[in-house]
């Protein structure tokens, strides 16, 4: 069913040699590689279709517009949103969250209000809320994490109050790989009439996501982590919230009428999309999502779960290797003895193995774990058991060097 060799053949970069070794790319949580189909969609559009979208009467503009809007429909179907009005194109998860922090903040956050985030957040789901709290004299509250790397739901329930205006939580941790109980987090927030943003940057590439079934109010993800191009992402928002939120940026496209006295705004989703969108990237993102759909998200998920289990089992053979957290969804963070994560990462690189080291843009989580950083291996649909074997052998070689 899932022909890994055929899949790998779609990703030309995987044939590269690094320092004389076959590339073992295990930094997929930072960004994924691109299949030929995605790159070719971009080249084809630039060579054969390119024209600015939406305002053109001419053939190419209409064709580019059709591709761009069809991409919105592809995204809608992929995350099971009800309407394309709920799909806003952004530059990525970070911009999606900043858009929300600005716009939701303008409409709904006042002095003394509270916003809840979790210990497991990436900086991009912390700092925009901190900045909003500073602007509005609001208060940031944090869901604590248990020692097993899971969020403390009892403590979460106690944090919610009549002052809570929004809960922001990641779907899957980019550091530990923890799949958060977002169904419960959303249900509990809704019992208090509080909306929820889910950061889906690390879930959308690895599992099928249904925002309507989740009933989240907002959901963000990045194109480049889901085999699409850089510079494009998505903010999903329920229409009843987006309708009541002001525009994020002003400019072309987001207006209905402009006079020097007053401007009226465009309908959803365009109200939130000022300026020329990256219509080539949106089309390429849709091509990436079509690629995933053709493979089957269930197959991708099963493949990566098997690979993760295999890695955990192989890593248990390595003396002194400590894995952080207890729930791993295509992400494993670890340290080996007292070898500095930077040394381990650098030496693995010399063997052609790309992993990420450091705090992974989650300094508060590092502080909670009492460490400065980890080595992180993160998987994609094209990784193999042989690559995991190479990682394990690489770690053993480095460990031997350090005695």
For residue 128, state whether it binds ligand PMP (rule: CB under 6 A). Answer: no
Q: Provide, rounded to whole angstroms, the least separation between the CB of residue 222 and ligand PMP.
A: 3
In 3D, which of 139, 127, 116, 135 has the Cα closest to residue 185?
116
Q: Which is nearer to ligand PMP, 18 or 361 (CB)?
A: 361
Whether 216 is a known active-site residue: answer no
**Interface with ligand PMP (CB under 6 A), residue from 202, 287, 330, 383:** 202
Q: Which is nearer to ligand PMP, 233 or 247 (CB)?
A: 233
Total interface residues for ligand PMP by CB under 6 A: 15
d(CA 34, CA 12): 8
Q: Are 336 and 352 in contact (CB under 8 A)?
A: no
> According to CB under 6 A, which residues from 216 to 235 bind ligand PMP?
222
Contacts with ligand PMP, 12-31, as mask; x by CB under 6 A: -----------------xx-
For residue 174, state whether it binds ligand PMP (rule: CB under 6 A). Answer: yes
For residue 93, state whether it binds ligand PMP (rule: CB under 6 A). Answer: yes
Segment lying near ligand PMP (by CB under 6 A), choices 87-95, 111-119, 151-159, 259-267 = 87-95
For residue 92, state whether it binds ligand PMP (rule: CB under 6 A). Answer: yes
Q: Provide, rounded to whole angstroms, the least separation between the CB of residue 198 and ligand PMP.
A: 10
Segment lying near ligand PMP (by CB under 6 A), choices 121-129, 157-165, 288-296, 311-319 = 121-129
Q: Provide, rounded to whole angstroms, the least separation between the CB of residue 249 and ligand PMP.
A: 17
Q: Which is nearer to ligand PMP, 333 or 384 (CB)?
A: 333
Segment lying near ligand PMP (by CB under 6 A), choices 47-55, 57-65, 118-126, 286-294 = 118-126
- Whether the upstream peptide bond of residue 269 has omega within 30° of 0, thus cis, is yes
Looking at 133, 169, 216, 361, which residue is catalytic? Answer: 361
d(CA 357, CA 349): 11
Q: Provide, rounded to whole angstroms, the least separation between the CB of residue 360 and ligand PMP.
A: 7
Segment lying near ligand PMP (by CB under 6 A), choices 9-17, 43-51, 120-128, 247-255 = 120-128
Q: Provide, rounded to whole angstroms, the least separation between the CB of residue 361 and ligand PMP.
A: 6
Q: Which is nearer to ligand PMP, 76 or 224 (CB)?
A: 224
Q: Provide, rounded to whole angstroms, the least separation between the CB of residue 23 and ligand PMP.
A: 21
**Interface with ligand PMP (CB under 6 A), residue from 75, 201, 332, 391:** 201
Q: Which is nearer to ligand PMP, 113 or 121 (CB)?
A: 121
For residue 85, state whether it binds ligand PMP (rule: CB under 6 A). Answer: no
Q: Which is nearer to ligand PMP, 122 or 206 (CB)?
A: 122
Cα distances (angstroms) measured from residue 245 to each of 57, 105, 106, 149 = 31, 9, 8, 35
For residue 199, state whether it binds ligand PMP (rule: CB under 6 A). Answer: yes
SS3 sequence of the chain: CCCHHHHHHCCHHHHCEECCEECEECECCCCCCCCHHHHHHHHHHHHHCCCCCCCCCCHHHHHHHHHHHHHHHHHHHHHCCCCHHHEEEECCHHHHHHHHHHHHHHHHCCCCCEEEEECCCCHHHCHHHHHHHHHHCCEEEEECECCCCCECHHHHHHHCCCCEEEEEEECECCCCCCECCHHHHHHHHHHCCCCEEEECCCCCCCCCCCHHHHCCCEEEEECHHHCCCCCCEEEEECHHHHCCCCCCCCCCCCEEEECCCCEEECCCCHHHCCCCCCHHHHHHHHHHHHHHHHHCHHHHHHHHHHHHHHHHHHHCCCCCEEECCCCCCCEEEEEECCCCHHHHHHHHHHCCEECEEECCCCHHHHHHHCCCCEEEEECCCCCCHHHHHHHHHHHHHHHHHCC
d(CA 194, CA 191): 8
Segment lying near ligand PMP (by CB under 6 A), choices 73-81, 90-98, 211-219, 391-399 = 90-98
Q: Which is nearer to ligand PMP, 110 or 367 (CB)?
A: 367
Q: Provide, rounded to whole angstroms, the least separation between the CB of residue 201 and ligand PMP.
A: 4
- Interacting residues with ligand PMP (CB under 6 A): 29-30, 92-94, 122, 124-125, 170, 174, 199, 201-202, 222, 361
Q: Which residues are catalytic?
A: 361
């Amino acid at each position: 069913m899932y022909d890994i060799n055929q899949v790998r053949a779609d990703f030309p970069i995987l044939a590269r040699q690094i320092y004389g070794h076959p590339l073992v790319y295990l930094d997929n949580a930072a960004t994924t590689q691109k299949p030929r189909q995605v790159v070719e969609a971009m080249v084809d559009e630039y060579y054969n279709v390119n024209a600015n979208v939406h305002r053109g009467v001419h053939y190419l503009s209409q064709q580019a517009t059709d591709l761009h809007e069809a991409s919105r429909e592809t995204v809608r179907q992929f995350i099971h949103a009800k309407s394309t009005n709920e799909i806003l194109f952004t530059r990525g998860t970070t911009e999606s969250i900043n858009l929300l922090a600005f716009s939701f903040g303008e409409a709904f956050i006042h002095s003394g209000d509270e916003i809840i985030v979790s210990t497991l957040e990436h900086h991009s789901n912390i700092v925009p809320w901190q900045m909003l709290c500073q602007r509005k004299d609001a208060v940031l509250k944090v869901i604590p994490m248990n020692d097993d790397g899971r969020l403390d739901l009892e403590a979460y329930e106690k944090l919610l109050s009549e002052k809570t205006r929004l809960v922001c939580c990641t779907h899957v941790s980019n550091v530990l790989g923890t799949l958060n109980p977002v169904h419960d987090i959303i249900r509990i927030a809704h019992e208090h009439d509080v909306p929820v943003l889910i950061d889906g940057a690390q879930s959308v590439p690895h599992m099928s996501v249904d925002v309507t079934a989740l009933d989240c109010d907002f959901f963000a993800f990045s194109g480049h982590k889901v085999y699409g191009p850089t510079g494009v992402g998505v903010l999903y928002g329920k229409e009843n919230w987006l309708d009541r939120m002001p525009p994020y940026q002003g400019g072309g496209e987001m207006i209905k009428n402009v006079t020097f006295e007053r401007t009226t705004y465009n309908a959803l989703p365009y109200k939130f999309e000022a300026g020329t969108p990256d219509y080539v990237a949106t089309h390429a993102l849709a091509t990436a999502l079509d690629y995933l759909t053709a493979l089957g998200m269930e197959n991708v998920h099963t493949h990566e779960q098997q690979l993760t289990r295999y890695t955990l089992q192989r890593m248990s053979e390595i003396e002194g290797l400590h894995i952080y957290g207890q729930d791993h969804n295509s992400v494993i963070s670890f340290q080996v003895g007292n070898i500095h994560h930077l040394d381990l990462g650098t030496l693995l690189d010399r063997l052609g193995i790309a992993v990420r080291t450091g705090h992974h843009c989650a300094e508060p989580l590092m502080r909670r774990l009492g460490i400065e950083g980890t080595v992180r291996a993160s998987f994609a649909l094209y990784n193999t058991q042989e690559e995991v074997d190479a990682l394990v052998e690489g770690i053993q070689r480095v460990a031997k060097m350090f005695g």
